[in-house]
Chain A
Amino acid sequence: MDARGELVARMYPELKRIAENRMRGEREFHTLEATALVSEFFLELARQQQFTWQNRAHFLAVASQAMKRLLIDYARSRGAEKRGGGHLHIQIDALNLSTKDGVLDLLEFNNLLERLWSEEPRMAQVVEMRCFGGLTNKEIAEALGVDERTVKRDWQVARAWLVSQLRGGRPRVG
């Protein structure tokens, strides 16, 4: 298992605990608020003594990615537990969605993100760090070693594309 895999495996119970605590039970479908979750998860991760970080950028990059993988794992496990209707919904402030109270289906979102990965990996990474790491453009630029302007552009295009796709709109793209 690689270092990141190990990190994900070790942190899974912790994330699950945080997620269950944070689940909004009163909803028709269970919804997580990404921002609150991310912040609690990052703090938990930062406290862990067994992981060592080269620097802040390394921590932020790894943690964002771990957060995403953990959430996807969690969403899948819930889907498996409850046949149908087990989808995990998440509210991602960074996306600033105006519909559905800003809530989206995590697995659907992940599928879109994977499509983005195959075509524009850096754009996908920017999305990951914004949505699952709660980071700002400046922080992402530092972590990826690119210009802040580049991050901003990537994010604007990626967000607009993701949003158009999430609404079921299918702009004809290549």
Chain B
Amino acid sequence: MSGEDWERIKVIFEEALELPERERMGYLASACGSDANLSAVLVRLLENHLEQSSSGSTIVKGRVFEDGALIAGRLRITRFIAGGGMGEVYEVFDERLRTRLALKTLRLELTSTEDALSRFQREILIAREVSHPNLCSVFDFIEHHVIDRQTGESSVVPCLTMELIDGESLADHLARERPFSPTTALPLIRQAAAGLELLHDHGIVHRDLKPSNIMLAKDRQGAIRVVLMDFGLAKRAHRKDEMFESRLDVHAGAPYFMAPELLRESGPSVASDIYSFGLLIDEMVTSDRAFSAQSLQSLYFAKLWEAPIAPSLRSAGLPQNWEATILRCLRSDPGERFQRVTDVLAALEHASDVEICPVSNKNQLVPPAPPSTKPPPVRRQLRRRTLVSGFAVLSILGTGRVLISLPPNSISTSIQVYDIENTASASYNYLCKGTSVELIRRLSRVKGMSVIPMHEPRSLARESKVGRFTLEGILQEHKEKLRLSLLVTDNQDSKVVYSEDFDRQKIDDPLQLQSDIAAGTALALEKHIRPGSVGLRVQQSSLFPILSRLTGGFFRPLSQDLQSSPTSNTEAFDLYLRGHQLLEDFSSSSNQAAISYLQRAVKADPAFALGYATLADAYLNMMNYYQMPQKDLLEDARKNAEMAVNLDSDLAEAQDSLAVVRQTDWDWHGAERCFLEAIRLKPSYAIARRRYAGLLLQFDRFDEAISMAREAYSQDPYDRGAAPGIGLYFYLAGHYDEAIRFLEGEIGDGDMTAARHNLGDAYAEEAVRSTGSRREDYFAKAFLQAAKVSRIEKKEDFEKGRYAPFGDEMFAHYYSLQSNYAAARPYVERMLTDLESNRVSPAIMAWIFAVQGDKERALDLLERALATRDRKLFYVKQFPALASLRGEPRFKTLVANMGL
């Protein structure tokens, strides 16, 4: 059968299925015409389809007890209430005590061993001790003996008698009714929390909180009483091989409500209860799921790797503190959740506490402001602010947008900024990365604020609290809606100090978005660190989110720090963000694509200084790939860097780009001036410091270079270029042992090809300087790095497959150092081929020949590199591989020509 036939079959088949059964055969006859073959196939397919769909595989399991049966000599079964993963529930009449009770059977598998049974009984004893109106009372443990009629075997059905609760489960209620409003939900949550809190106080973990385990009982006055059921009993249902039995329960609850650490095989804890409690609250107010997954497989993935869908996306108008509270409960790290149920409740009840949580003075890291800048007495200030706040509200109605900012010196603190996580479509990657970068850029301009870029999303990062505050964000997509949520937490007490959502409209205007986020963050931090300065009273108002953003702005002059936008042209900025993101990929194709985006960006806004500076960087990066004439690239870089500086000479990024252009141009003094200017303009700009270190090194200013590099590194430890850079500087300065120590510590399990390259080179130099087994050992380590780098490069470079320029270079280099030229030959030959296609720098080729003692050839290649102003010549004086050439007149001329 050909592909076309299949296509035709599919269409006819589907159309036939949509018809009433009696019309199908007639339709087939007309659709297939004279093609008897086709008709036969379709008839066959339809028959098979019909049979399948009529034979549903619903398995109805037999109940354990029939109505009227007498259990344990005193409990008469009156009706079946429900059946579930844990067992069955019946209503019974206790004939001795003349009272109605609930009887629950426990699944036999769960209690199959003696040990399990006795542990279970012990737990019931504890549960019996806990009595509370919001907890279902547990009375007795009963073992009922059953004899199988067919086999005659006897078995035991363990049962539990409990308080009978008249009402419906929360699950049933939510399936029928609309979700609760926060106001209606709060009293119910309060009751549930009271019950749960008491359990926790007794050291009992509920383990199975879910809507079907929560009863809503109406008392005589019509008030609703919330009763938690089945606490402490679910433990064995979480045992690994039992968990999968609850597959049928996906919609009833269990796996969905389970905390992710339970999937990872950690034991249940108060924190895992808090997680389930968060989902419960979420479900009450949204009637929707925070993790959308249809199959259990998807659900596992979602719980382990994805962030929950923001509640406010699923329930319009949900108060911000509810959202923040729910999300905090749902943190995948149990340590980041609320630690107690009462804290969850408090966060829901006191809106303002979640948004702004003033710390007491004794917890403050920041010293009090000096007397000269002491704020006016709180009372007076408050009055002024309140008055102005009222005015500001009027003004926002008038203008629709009020900007806020902070005066310089208002903050002295540190904030670690994670990349915004993109859970929406990949086409928004640029927006997330770009917004993160821009946030870092803007926040670092606020005086007194030190910004620590983390360069990855929070969910991927190893837990580290390096700053006083943490800023993280997530972009989510849900049913056509797009939302960016930002959260700032205080690392001291994990409290949320600022959270804000931005919807699609805002996101379409990235400039305004970033201004808003940067300003909101800075303002929130200021308030957080200086409690009492702004509106402890204002907090009580529901207008607070608006007021908080207005008061600061109205009081203070707009500061250049935060508000200066790199461009006012949205299109240009969008293109810039895309280009910037691609540059981070460190590959020639993405670098090329970045150039085209950045070209369009500066075309859209010809006054976009940062755009030109970044474009210059992109051209300079492109030089590393040796695919285009180096000279042309340098010219393009120069034009753009100069343009950037002409447009805005106070832009550190522009000065930095121009510095590298000058350095590449061998205008060493010009380069130094620009580097120093960039550092002066923006002391926190680690990249300029790192690059300047390289320049210092070229002039053998080793100590300065290394301390400059170290400074850059401590400012921005996550800068991708920093680790290999510093390793290289140690290496070039001849501190091989330090290079090794540093790089070994930095690399860990990471890919980091450039750093591994430098590490391998450092091992090799140590090897050359050692003897005996030490020498062998160092060489082995060097070759290991070469092998790793080759593997990583080939993996990264799927299209080219075998292409591993660093790896080839390393193997060729180390074999040559061992004087094993035969082994080096295949690598050298491959490099020579690459040299012909301009994929390898002649300078690098020269090192290999210099090591092999072929001085003439090495010098030829160096001179060839000189003609193209190859960037790999930068450290020609320092590279140990070239040491043997230093006495040669041709080499001295070359160094002199370079002005080194």
Contacts and interface: CB of A to CB of B under 8 A. Distances in A.
Interface of A: 21, 35-36, 38-40, 42-43, 46-47, 53, 55-56, 59-60, 63, 93, 95-98, 102, 119-120, 123, 133-136, 138-139, 153-154, 156-157, 159-161, 163-164, 169, 171-174
A174 B295 contact: no
Nearest to A138: B294
B10 A154 contact: yes
Contact of A153 (B14, B55, B56, B304): B14
Given A164-B48, A174-B5, A102 B57 contact: yes
Contacts of A40: 241, 244
Interface in B808-834: none
Contacts of A173: 1, 5, 37, 41
Given A156-B49, A157-B45, A47 B244 contact: no
A60 B3 CA distance: 27
8 A-B pairs with least C-beta separation: A174-B1, A160-B45, A136-B294, A42-B297, A98-B55, A160-B48, A173-B1, A160-B49
B482 interface: no
A161 B471 CA distance: 54
21 contacts: A36-B247, A40-B241, A40-B244, A43-B300, A46-B263, A47-B265, A47-B304, A56-B301, A59-B301, A97-B52, A102-B57, A133-B297, A134-B296, A134-B297, A153-B13, A153-B14, A156-B49, A164-B44, A169-B44, A172-B37, A172-B41
Interface string B738-760: 00000000000000000000000
> Which label, helix, strand, loop or mixed, suits the secondary structure of the A interface?
helix
B157 interface: no
Nearest to B44: A171
A139 B294 contact: yes
A136 B264 CA distance: 24
Contacts of A161: 45, 48
B309 to A, nearest CB: 13
Contacts of A21: 241
Interface in B235-265: 241, 244, 247, 263-265
B304 A156 contact: no
B13 A43 contact: no
A159 B49 contact: yes
Nearest to A54: B426
Contact of A120 (B3, B37, B44, B45): B3
B10 A157 contact: yes
Most buried by A among B48, B52, B241: B48
Contacts of A160: 13, 44-46, 48-49, 52
A51 to B, nearest CB: 11
A49 to B, nearest CB: 10
Interface in B1-59: 1-3, 5-6, 9-10, 13-14, 17, 37, 40-41, 44-46, 48-49, 51-53, 55-57
A136 B302 CA distance: 15
Nearest to B5: A174
Contacts of A164: 44-45, 48
Residue of A47, A55, A135, A156 with highest tally of chain B CB at under 10 A: A156
B6, B55, B247, B296, most chain A CB atoms within 10 A: B6
Given A39-B247, A53-B305, A120-B6, A60 B297 contact: yes
A123 B57 CA distance: 24
B41 A171 contact: yes
B300 to A, nearest CB: 5
A173 B264 CA distance: 48
A55 B424 CA distance: 10
Contacts of A93: 57
A159 B46 CA distance: 11
B797 to A, nearest CB: 14
Of the listed residues B55, B300, B304, the one surrounded by the most CB atoms of chain A closer than 10 A to its CB is B300
A135 B10 contact: no
A22 B273 CA distance: 30
B298 interface: yes
B451 to A, nearest CB: 28
A161 to B, nearest CB: 6
B585 interface: no
A98 B55 CA distance: 7
B475 to A, nearest CB: 13
Contacts of B336: none
